[in-house]
Structure formats: structure tokens, C-alpha cells
Structure 1
Amino acid sequence: MKPFRAAIVGTGNIARRHAESLRRIAEETGEVALVAAADTDPDRLAAFTAEFGIEAGYADAEALFAGTEADLVHICTPPGAHVPVALAALEAGSHVVVEKPATLTLAEFDRLIEAEKQTGRYVATVSQHRFGSGALRIRELLRSGIAGRPLLALCNTTWFRDQAYFDVEWRGRWDTEGGGPTMGHGIHQIDLMLSILGEWTSVSALARQQARVMETEDLSLAHVEFAGGAVASVVNSILSPREESYLRFDFEHATVELTHLYGYTDADWRVTPAPGHEEEVTAAWAAGPSQVRSEHLAQFREVVRALRDGTAPPVSTSDARPTLQLIAGIYASAFTRSAVRPGDLGPESPFYRFMQGAGPVW
């Protein structure tokens, strides 16, 4: 079969991970070929196309869609540009892989869902932490019942970004990033947590401008309740000199912990069985998948496989929307000082169209 023709829009730092992953898949299976790229910076575009042997380079997405027929378009622009590029790609007949946050608001996300239906093409959101072998193991522990019911979770993204980071024009703004660390940084761990614990039912939160000068929050804390009965504490910070991404899941029969920063391996997980369940839990964990890093490559392999099968590639819009909805809920709760449920975030809510709602007033 012919390889999928892939293109990348935006050739900054994150685009390199996309290109490297696509090149690896091309070497492994020949199922994909990176044929085009676009960027408004001509020097950056020239360096990128030369490094990855890309034949066609374009000054913008519009020119790329006019000049190249791509089966798959990877969107690696700053977040505020995701939606118009994605809509144009779908209209051009391409499937889309978009960095997260895929959109800045729930309203924009629902526009993508509607465009999928109209064009018959798919949108996948980059959520690479779902695909490492550790995440596969913990979901299997749940599915098999060996872990027992989920009871408590901790989901901490405590990173550090100095003021100079937010002095870049498009950072720390509601209209270009959709939020602060809750949206742009903690989303990675929040997404992994939801992929394990499932449907959330209520959130109570606070958000603050604690130290950085910018429009958005630099810190948020949330208490989340889940349909299965579990509760979680979620912390998002870019004020923490000792950086860490930490998730902890306390099940009836085991505690499972993950400590990493921007990506994990099997060595970053720790499992502690409850008394009386040592042998069963340890054996099940050891028997699970192994040696798969939580990186773009793992997800993109599954994207290509799904497209070959004619199915929605992971992470589909239906899978990704609850993550964005919970982030909207954190902001809504913080700025209204009340608990928020998913049903409170429909089109009638100001937080459906703007993550900051009608405010905030700091």
C-alpha cells in the first residue's frame, strides 16, 4: 500500500519530535512519508526541511494545502493558531494530528467535532503519556480487577518557568494560550489521570497569580470527584524550582506511582501492593507491556495503524474533550468560587467560549 503523505505546519521545537517520529515509522514500516512543511519564518523552515529531507516547503498553511495533497497534517503551531489550520486541513481532505491543547475553548473544540462530521476526516490530539507501557499496565490492572476500585489520586505538575518565558508575546495570555499552567502544562498529567480514572463529576478549585506577571494564573489547585467514586487532588504550577510530574493512584489493592518530568520510562513507575495482595499485584504488573516510552512515536504508531484500519486515530475528539472540559471546570470553579459539574459547562456558560469566562478579576 502507498504510504500516508504527511505534512507539518509549524516547524518550531515540538515539530522536531513529530518529524523524528514520522521518520522512524517510515524506516520501520514505510507506512508514512513526510512530504511537506510550512512556517512563516523562512530561515526556520529552510533549516527544518533540509534536516528532515522534506521536498516541499511553504510560507504558510494555506499555501501548503494549495500545493500539496496530504493524507495527514500535523499541527505544531502556537495554540492560538490550531483551530483555523485544523479546519482548513479537514476541508482540504486531510486527517489532523494536533498538539495539545488542541483548542483554546470548548466552543472551538466542538467546531472541530462538527468539522469531522462534515468532512469525514479525523482529528487526533497529541496525548503521548497515554501510550507508554506503564499507562498500559495500570489500565490492565484496573480492567482485570486485580487493583480493585480506585479510591484516591494525586496529580501534580510542579514545573518552573521564569518571567522571561512569559515575556514572549503569545505566552501567558487567554487569547493565545487559553490559560496558564493548568491549560498549557498540567494538561499532560490531567489527561493521563482521566484516561485511568474515567468520567469526572465535580470539581472545586482555586487559581492565583502568585509570582509571574501575565494575564493568566501561574498556580491552580483542584479537588476532583469521579463517577466511580474516586477523588483526586490536582496541582498545576510553574513556580516550582524542583520540577516534577507526579501521579499517584491508590486502589483497594495497590498504590501505583509515577514520578517523571516531561516523559516516562518503565523505571519511573513504582507499585506497592496492599497486604495480602503482594503476589497477585506484583505478578500482574510484571506481566504487562514493557519498554515503551511515553513519547510521540508510541502514539503516532497507533495513529497510522488506526488510519490503515479506517478507524478514528487516538486520541480521538471524544477521548480528548473531557480533558479540556475538566480544565474549563477548574477555571470556572476558581473564578466563580463554587463547585462545577460537566453539565454546567454547556453553550450557555461563559466558560464554554472563554476559559476565563467573563473575567477573571484578580
Structure 2
Amino acid sequence: MDVPRDLPRVLLVGAHGHGRTHLRNLRRRRVRPVRLVGVCDLRPLDGELRELAGPVPASDSLPELLASTEPDVTIVCTPIHTHVELAATAMRAGSHVLLEKPPAPTLAEYERLLDEVRATGRACQIGFQDLGSHALSAAGRLLAEGAVGDLRGIGVAGVWVRDASYYARAQWAGRRRLDGAPVVDGALTNPFAHAVAAALRIDGSEGAGDLVGIETDLYHARPIEADDTSSIRLTTSRGTTITAAVTLCGASQRHPYLRIHGTRGAITLWYKRDELRLETPERVETLPYGRTDLLDNLVDHLREPRTPLLVPPERTRAFMDVVEAIRTAPEVTPIPGRFQHISGDGPGERRIVDGVGEAITTSAEALRLFCELGLPWARAEPTVMRL
């Protein structure tokens, strides 16, 4: 495996949207600096983007930029349905890749990504940044030490606010398909994908065959194809029940969390703020942690292969089973207008689903789906997939 130069050369593919965050991070790095050598985007870099990028070449041709800049690492931050093709192009040109989550829109495309990684011998890190949280690792250690007894289940709770501008930002936003191609841009597969991946890691159920059952319960308040308010239940081969209940139609923004239930206590993990609370009969303690940046981890792995990647593609297989279950589930159930209200207008228009915040809290505690909570807008039963 090639070792990066003293200052690793980085090419960014996709500067708009979340790519702007990558540009800012690349520019503000002081302890572990890298050298940005180019930006690939279909649209010109204007204003802040050009200022953030600096005097590096920008082009809509990835092959040309790869040839002229010879990056050590290519960051791919583009629409979901373009991930695998662009990552494959970079790896074939000799670059290692940091690929935004989710890695692919379908299980077949994910398998193609694995084939490209094997064929090229390049390293690929999947951009589940929150899996670099040291709080996540600490929760796993506490479970292994028996701090809360035996694991009974994990509940994910997520309440965010997204207005009309979120769905107007790109053609693929909120779509299940675009021009016949799967996109799968739903609440569970994109904005709250980190939470699902974190729960799978806590349970040690990330690989092929680690999930034996998936129940989907998908809704939308907005007139979109994909889900914006949904719940899901996973059964792992270890016998663990994992539920996730999330919405982008909350009354207010909350920090998403994992509620890890044990026979002698519980752990609440706020994965975005790297914090956990341990609750047992003997003590209640809130503990702050730091995190490892995934680009730093990738560069460390290239320099010393004995340093493992935090999120290699193989460790996202169970998550891709979730994506596939959501992709192949029946059409998403609309939430009738009488159970929601609209706040604001134009780009700032928000949909707020009645009682959804309380339902999500209950789901994380009871490990139940929306359809099991007696909600007036919910379906009678989930869609079940046996693996």
C-alpha cells in the first residue's frame, strides 16, 4: 500500500452541500494538516466555495483531475447514487478513498464497491464520522465489562427539523428513485444513518449475516417519495433487538441518542456530542469524550497498515441490509394533513407531526415501532423482511 507524502494530497469530489463542510474542515486543520490539490464539481466554485478551496484547480472531469493532481486520498461527497462509480474511478487511478455515507443505494452496488476495493488494493473508509466517537467505544467497553448487566436491546431516538429548503437543495433529495436509478434518500438511510450504524457497532453486528430480521415502518409528512418520519426494528443473530424511531418533522431540534438497555441499568449515548450517561443502581454519571477524525485515521492506516480503518466497507454490510430493506419496502405511507401542521412558508416552511417527539422517546424506551404505539396516523403493522 502506498504511503502518503509528508503532507497528504487530498482531492475533493463534490463541493456543494455537505462538501462545503469537508472544505471547511480541510482548511481549518492545524494539528494534522493535509494539502488540498483540487476540487471536482459539476458546478463552478463561486463565492465562499472558491475562497475555501483557494488557488487549486477545479474541474467537472474527475479523470483529468486524478491524472493531474495524483492525490493520496480522494474524498467523495456526492449524491448517493453516484458514490460507487466515482469511488471506483478514484481507486482505479491509484487513490485511496474517503467515501461519504451511505456507501451505496443498493446491496448490489455495495458489492461492486467491495470488488473494486479488492481489485485495486486501495483503502476505502466509509464516512460514518460518528463511528469515530470515543463515547461509542466507551459504551462498548462498559457493556463488555457488564456495567449494566446483560444487553436487553438498543433504542435509537432522533428528532430533527428540516424545512422546504432541505428538499429543494438537490434533485435527489427526498427521493427513492431518480430517472429510474435507486437513490434511497430517507431519514433512516441518510440523516440518521449514523445512529443506525452506531447501534449496529455497539451490538457487534456489522457484518454479513449479522441481521436475521428487519421490520420497516415508513412514513412521510411532506409530499416526497422517501420517508421523513419512520421507525425500524432489527433483530441480530446475537438475539439483540434494535429499534430506531426518527423524524425530520419535529417541533424542535434535539440531540439524537442511543438508549442502551441492560438488565441492571442503562447507557444513554449522544453520539453527535461525544457524551454518554451511565445509569445503574450504584451510580449515575455523565462522561464526555473526544473523537478520531476519519481522514486522520485513513492517513494513519496508509502510513502504518497495522492501524485499522475505523469504518472499512466490510463493516457497513449490515447497514446496507437496512438500506436494501428500506429500498425494497412498499411505498411510504403518507401522514394525513389533520395529524400535522405547517409552520412558516416558502423555503422556510416546516411540517410538524403531532406528538411525534413523545412517540420517539417512547419507542427508544419500549423498543417499539410507531405502528405499535397507537398513533392515529400509523399503519396497522410493519413490513417484515427475513434475512
**CA distances 1:265-323 after superposition (whole Å, capped 9, x unpaired):** 33xx32211x2x54xx86xx86xxx5415xxx622221221111136633101111211
2:324 partner letter:
A
Q: Is this contact kept in 2: 1:58–1:64, CA < 8 A?
A: yes
**RMSD of aligned alpha carbons:** 2.6
Match of 1:258 in 2: 269
**Cα deviation, residue 230, structure 1:** 2.2
1:330 Cα shift? 4.3
Deviation at 1:125, TM superposition (A): 0.8
| Rounded Cα–Cα distance in structure 2 between residues aligned with 1:54 and 1:147 | 53
5+ long unaligned stretches in structure 1: 343-362
Following superposition, the deviation at residue 334 of structure 1 comes to 5.7
Give the drift of 1:184. Answer: 1.7
1:93 equivalent in structure 2: 94
| 1-structure distance, mates of 2:99, 2:119 | 18
Give the equivalent residue in structure 1 for 2:316: 320
Partner of 1:353: none
- Runs ≥4 residues deviating over 6 A: none
Call closer, same or farther: CA 1:51–1:323 in 2, change over 3 Å: same
Within the alignment, does 1:229 sit opposite 2:239 as a pair? yes
User: How many pairs align?
Assistant: 322
Matched, 1:339 2:334: no
Map residues 196-345 of structure 1 onto 2, 5 A cutoff.
196-199=202-205, 200-209=211-220, 211-244=221-254, 245-259=256-270, 263-266=272-275, 269-273=276-280, 275=281, 277-278=282-283, 291-293=289-291, 298-310=293-305, 313-332=309-328, 338-342=383-387
CA shift for structure 1 position 88: 0.5
8 Å Cα contact 2:149-2:262 kept in structure 1: yes
Shift of 1:153: 1.5
Q: Distance in 2 between matches of 1:238 and 1:48?
A: 27
Deviations 1:170-204 (A, max 9, x none): 21212353232121222111011111012232122
In structure 1, the residue matched to 2:37 is 35
How big is the shift at 1:140? 1.4
Question: CA separation in 2, counterparts of 1:4 and 1:49?
Answer: 21
* Residue-by-residue CA offset, 1:16-74 (whole Å, 9 max, x unaligned): 3323434455x3245x3221111122133x74343243532223323312322011000
Q: What amino acid maps onto 2:64 in structure 1?
A: A
Alpha-carbon separation, structure 2, partners of 1:53 and 1:302 = 25
8 A contact 2:98–2:127 mirrored in 1: yes
Partner of 1:313, secondary structure, is coil
What is residue 84 of structure 1 aligned with on the other side?
85
What percent identity do the matched residue pairs reach?
A: 25
- 1:100-157 CA distances to partner (integer Å, 9 max, x unpaired)? 1121111111111000111111221111111222112101112333343211211122
Q: How does 1:5-154 map to 2 (within 5 A)?
A: 5-25=9-29, 27-30=30-33, 32-44=34-46, 47-154=48-155
In structure 2, how many angstroms separate the alpha carbons of the residues matched to 1:43 and 1:216? 30
Q: TM-score, normalised by structure 1?
A: 0.80
- Partner Cα distance (1:231, 1:52) in 2: 45
Bigger shift: residues 162-171 or 66-75: 162-171
More helix by share: 1
TM-score normalized by the length of structure 2? 0.75
Query: Structure 1 residues 334 and 154, CA, compared in 2 at 3 Å: closer, same or farther?
Result: farther
